[in-house]
Amino acid sequence: MSADEHGSSGWANITRRSWLKTLASLPVVGVFFYNFLKKKAKDDQVQRAILDELGVVERGPAIIPDAVSRPPSDRVRVGIVGFGYEGEALVRNAGYAHPDWIQESRDALRDNPGDRRLETYLNQEDLNIEFTGVCDLFDVRAQRAIAASQTEVTSGESTPRPPATRYHRYTDMLDSGQVDAVIIATPDHWHTRMTLDAAERGIHVYCEKCMTRTESEAHAMYDAVRDSGIVFQLGHQNRQSESHNKAREVIAADILGPITLVEGTTNRNTPWGAWVWDIHEDASPETIDWEQFQEPAPTKMAYTPERFFRWRCWYDYGTGLAGDLLSHDYDAVNQILDCGIPHTAVASGGIYYYKDGRDVPDVFQVVYEYPDRDMTLVYSSTLANGADRGLQFMGHDATMRVSGTLSVSAERDSTRYADKIESNIIDPSRPMFTYRPGFRGIDAVTSATEQYFASRGLLYTYRGGRRVSAYHLMIKDWLDCIRHGGTPSCNIERGFEEAITCHMATRSLLEGRRVTWDPVARRIV
C-alpha cells in the first residue's frame, strides 16, 4: 500500500500514479471511438453512394397528388345507395359514424390501448358534408344509415343532426333535390344504371369498385360521365397510399431498370375473406326488397338470402376475384406504372375450396401482356391460403416490393449496379432502399383480412407521420374536385381501364381463350 492512497482528501494527494490508474481505460475508449467513427464514416459513405445513385431519398413522397388541403367552402349534400359494410365505412370516413361503431371503438380502445380506430376517426378533417339521403333495400341497414346520419361525432362529443331521408328507390333520392352527390356502394350489377341516372341529373358520383359488371356497361358509364361533366371517383383508395406514391418516384427515377414482370397477388384464408358474409338474423322477404335487388341481374330467382348478403359469389351480381381483388392490384400497378389496358389476357381458375353453390372461382390467375412495354403482369390469387406474397415489380437492375413498407433490392446480376455490388457498396441480399411511412411502432390490426387490406394501403395511410384513413382521403379528393374543379385521383379514365382489364380476365376465364384489347375499336375481341 502506498502513502498516496491514504490520508486527507483533496487534489493534493492525487499522485501521478493515481492519475494513471484513473485514466487507465482511456486508450480503450480511444480505440472504441476510432473504430466507431471509422465504421460510421464507411456506413454513411455507402448510404450516400446508394442514394446518389438512385436519386431518391428515404423520406415521404415529395408530391402526393390531390393531398393539398383546401377549405371545404360549400356544404355538399350527400346521399348513399347501399349501406352495407363498404357503404357504412365510406359514410363513416366522411364524418358520420354509427353510434354502435363509436361505442365498439371505445370498448376496443379500453381492451387494447394500441387500437387507433377511434383516434383516427376523431382526428379526421371535417369535410363539411350533409348526409341527407339513403337508399338500401334491407330495412335494417337503412335504419342503421339514418342513425349514423344523426350522429356527427367530432372531438368525442355527439351532436344530434337532422336524420337522412330513406328512399325505397334510388331514383326518388336523385329526384328529391336533396342530394348534390351520391355514393354508390351497391353490388356491381347496379353501378352502371345508378351512375347513368345520376349523371343525367348532374349529380356527382363516388362509385365502389369494380366499376361495372360487364364490358358494355363500362362503355355506357364512360360515355355518360364524360358527356355529363359530373365529378366521378372510383373507390380505389390505394390511390391515396403514401407507399404507392413513393413507388411512383422509384419508377420515375428508373431505379429498377427495364421491368419485364410485375406480380400482384391476393391470399386470404377466412370465410369472411371468401365473401361468406353474415346473413342478418332479421333478413326476410318482408325486410328485403328482393325483386328490386335482382332487377338488373341476368338470372332471376326466388328470394335467396345467400345471394343478397354474399353477392360476390355469383356472376349475376359481380365478377368474383376479378372485380373484387384483382381490381385493387391492377389499379395499384396502373397507379404506379401508368400502364393502361393490356394487349392480351389469359385467365384460369376454379372452385377448389368453397363448394358452397357459388359460381365464381376461389382460385384465380391471369396473365396480361404489354408488348409495347415489353412487360407481363401476372395476378395470382387464392381464397384458401393466407401466405403474404405481396406486389412485386421485377426489373433487370432491381426488385421493388410494395406493401405497407416499400423496399427495393438490387439484382445480383444487375448491369447498372454491377460496380457498386463489386465494391461492396450495394449488398443484393438486403434492401438498398426502404421506405416505411408513418408511425414506427406496431399498428394494432385485428383480423387476417384487415391485415391484407392494411398491407395494400387500403385501410389507412400516413400524412406527415399521422395515420389517416385512405377512404377518408379518397372521399375528400372527390369533394375537393366537386367544389374547386380538378381531376379525382381515380377518375373515369382510370375507372374504364380498371373495368376493361378486369373484364378481359373474366371473359378469358369464362370463354376459355386468350382475349385481346382492340384499342381502335375500343373492344375486347
Partner 1 sequence: MLIALQLAIGWHFLYEGLAKILNEHWTAAGYLAASQWWFQSLFEKLATSPGLLGVVDVLNSWGLVAVGAGLMLGLLTRYAAVAGIVALALYYIAAPPFAGLTYAMPSEGSYLVVNKVMIEAFALTVLLVFPTRGLFGLDRLMSALRGQTLDTAARVTV
d(CA 181, CA 453): 27
Nearer to partner 1, 444 or 454 (CB): 444
Residues ≥6 apart with Cβ < 8 Å to 244: 238, 332, 335, 336, 402, 457
All three cell numbers of 7, joined, read 490520508
Nearer to partner 1, 107 or 291 (CB): 107
Binding region for partner 1 (CB under 8 A) out of 8-16, 196-204, 206-214, 227-235: 8-16
Residue 34 found at the interface with partner 1 (CB under 8 A) = no
Residue 156 found at the interface with partner 1 (CB under 8 A) = no
Residue 131 and residue 119 in contact, taking contact as beta carbons nearer than 8 Å: no
Minimum CB distance to partner 1, residue 93 (Å): 21
Binding region for partner 1 (CB under 8 A) out of 16-24, 164-172, 199-207, 332-340: 16-24
Nearer to partner 1, 56 or 80 (CB): 56
Nearer to partner 1, 459 or 505 (CB): 459
Minimum CB distance to partner 1, residue 39 (Å): 9
Give CA separation, 179 vs 77, 133, 201, 215, 392, in Å: 5, 7, 11, 29, 42
Minimum CB distance to partner 1, residue 32 (Å): 6
Q: x/- binding map, residues 402-441, to partner 1, per CB under 8 A?
A: --------------------------------x-x--xxx
> Three-state SS for 398?
strand
Minimum CB distance to partner 1, residue 438 (Å): 10
Nearer to partner 1, 40 or 70 (CB): 40
d(CA 428, CA 430): 5
All three cell numbers of 444, joined, read 394494432
Closest CA to 131 of 169, 105, 171, 159: 159
Minimum CB distance to partner 1, residue 469 (Å): 17
Position among 3, 16, 29, 350 found at the interface with partner 1 (CB under 8 A): 29
Position among 1, 68, 302, 521 found at the interface with partner 1 (CB under 8 A): 1
Q: x/- binding map, residues 103-132, to partner 1, per CB under 8 A?
A: ---------xxx------------------
Residue type, 525: V
Minimum CB distance to partner 1, residue 482 (Å): 34
Residue 155 found at the interface with partner 1 (CB under 8 A) = no
Nearer to partner 1, 12 or 525 (CB): 12
Phi, psi of 326 (to 5 degrees): -55, -40
Number of residues that bind partner 1 (CB under 8 A): 32
Residue 385 found at the interface with partner 1 (CB under 8 A) = no
Residue 3 found at the interface with partner 1 (CB under 8 A) = no
Minimum CB distance to partner 1, residue 421 (Å): 23
Q: At what angle do helices 85-93 and 470-484 cross, to 10 degrees?
A: 60
- Interacting residues with partner 1 between 434 and 473 (CB under 8 A): 434, 436, 439-444
Residue 387 found at the interface with partner 1 (CB under 8 A) = no
Q: Within 13 Å of residue 36, how many CA atoms lie on the same side as its CB?
A: 6
Residue 13 found at the interface with partner 1 (CB under 8 A) = yes
Residue 45 found at the interface with partner 1 (CB under 8 A) = no
Residue 10 found at the interface with partner 1 (CB under 8 A) = yes
Nearer to partner 1, 39 or 523 (CB): 39
Residue 288 and residue 309 in contact, taking contact as beta carbons nearer than 8 Å: no
Closest CA to 417 of 256, 268, 303: 256
d(CA 117, CA 123): 10
Residue-by-residue DSSP string for 286-318:
TTB-HHHHTTT-SS--S--HHHHHSGGGSTTT-
d(CA 502, CA 208): 14
d(CA 145, CA 138): 11
Return the bridge partners of 505, or none.
none
| Contacts with partner 1, residue ranges (CB under 8 A) | 1, 5-11, 13-14, 18-19, 21-22, 24-25, 28-29, 32, 36, 40, 112-114, 434, 436, 439-444
